[in-house]
Structure 1
Amino acid sequence: MQIYQESRGELLRFLTARVGDRAEAEDLLHDLWLRIQSADAGPIANGRSYLYRAAQNLVLDRARARQRRLVRETAWSGHGDDHAEPADPRADIEALIAAREDAAALAAAMAKLPEKAGQVFRLHKIDGLPHAEIAARLGISRSGVEKHIATAMTHLRRALDGGTA
């Protein structure tokens, strides 16, 4: 116990560095205190090493418990099974409706793009053509391609952020 009291601050820093959260590290430090309180008093060759090993074991135990809980909760909720129905199908429907609304808003905004900017944007973002190929196909410079894409992106951001393009 004396070594624990002397090393408490160092042990707290050690545990905080391992778990990344001071409150959790303090919980682990308390668990360590409980463990050494209930341990059989026997000869220990190096008390500091024993404390640090016990602290590291507590960190590993907590990580394993967290992983088991995650696996259990994933299996329980059905997310681990690709064929399972969601717990609340309305959540998927709401996400689908929101995605459709977003796609419709994007399509409407793209329809309002200036002609050349819209053409360049579609060739690059939808057809996947590189800037050099678009430039050659349209007879403009690569810099021109980049400017048209920048114009299109500015218009789309304004339109999708609630403004008008």
Structure 2
Amino acid sequence: MTAESSSAGLEAAFLDNREKLVRFLRARGAGEAAEDLVQEVWLKIAASSPGPVASPLSYLFRTADLLMIDRFRSQRQAGARDRDWSDVNAGDPPGVSAEPSAERRIAAAQEAASVLALLDGLGPRIAAIFRRHRIDGAPQKTIAADMNISLSTVESDLRVAYRALAEWKERAP
């Protein structure tokens, strides 16, 4: 038996037993990753030339099992690496506070006041629509119904507010 016919035999066994492999992997705990793992089995047998295989189905199940174990180990190691990194980098560096400085708080308050004044300068309806939609999270349809105006008016007023904020942002240092 040549390597080419052996590979063809594995591919035929794979195609005939694909659903069995998926069920096997799900039963072993692969869950939704079972389809991905079966695809990896296919790629592995398509790329390799293992030589004559006495029991193609057993070979496929063993390959699928080893791939699942590799994926599990990889995920476990990645999780441990993430936890270790978080543990090392958790909290504030020594001598540095998470709280913004007094200067930053004052600058942020001034910037917020500037934005609020800009919105108020656009008119009470535009300011109210912008606040309800962007700050309170109200849907545009709800705002239109509550204010007894059309949805297109709400959209138009939001465009005016967004344009004004974009221009303000471009002018800001």
Task: Kindly indicate whether the alpha-carbon contact (under 8 Å) linking 1:135 and 1:145 is maintained by their aligned counterparts in 2.
Answer: yes
Gaps of 5+ in 1: 38-43
Displacement of 1:148 in angstroms is: 0.7
RMSD of equivalent CA atoms: 5.1
Instruction: After TM superposition, list the pairs within 5 Å mapping 1:58-69 onto structure 2.
Output: 58-69=66-77
Cα distance between partner residues in 2 of 1:61 and 1:55:
10
1:123 pairs with 2:132: yes
> Could you tell me how far 1:123 is from its partner in structure 2?
2.0
Query: Structure 1 residues 61 and 130, CA, compared in 2 at 3 Å: closer, same or farther?
Result: closer
Q: Is the 8 A contact 1:78 1:86 kept in 2?
A: no
**CA displacement at 1:130 relative to structure 2:** 4.2
Q: How does 1:6-155 map to 2 (within 5 A)?
A: 6-7=6-7, 17-18=39-40, 46=55, 48-78=56-86, 85-86=90-91, 93=98, 108-109=114-115, 111-113=117-119, 114-115=122-123, 116-135=125-144, 138-155=147-164
1: CA distance, partners of 2:66 / 2:135: 52
1 CA distance for matches of 2:131 and 2:144? 13
Structure 1 72/132 Cα, relative in aligned 2: closer, same or farther at 3 Å?
A: closer
Relative to structure 2, which stretch is displaced further, 119-128 or 109-118? Answer: 109-118
Q: Is the 8 A contact 1:134 1:145 kept in 2?
A: yes
Q: Report the number of matched residues.
A: 137
Task: Report sequence identity in percent.
Answer: 24
Paired with 1:157 and 1:50, the residues of 2 have a C-alpha distance of 64
TM-score scaled by length of structure 1: 0.50
Question: Which has the bigger relative contact order, CA under 8 A and spacing at least 6?
Answer: 2
Aligned residue type for 2:156: K
State the TM-score, normalized to the length of structure 2.
Answer: 0.49
- Render the CA deviation track for 1:124-158: whole Å, top value 9, x for unaligned: 22234444553455453332112112322333345
Distance 1:4 1:56, change over 3 A: farther
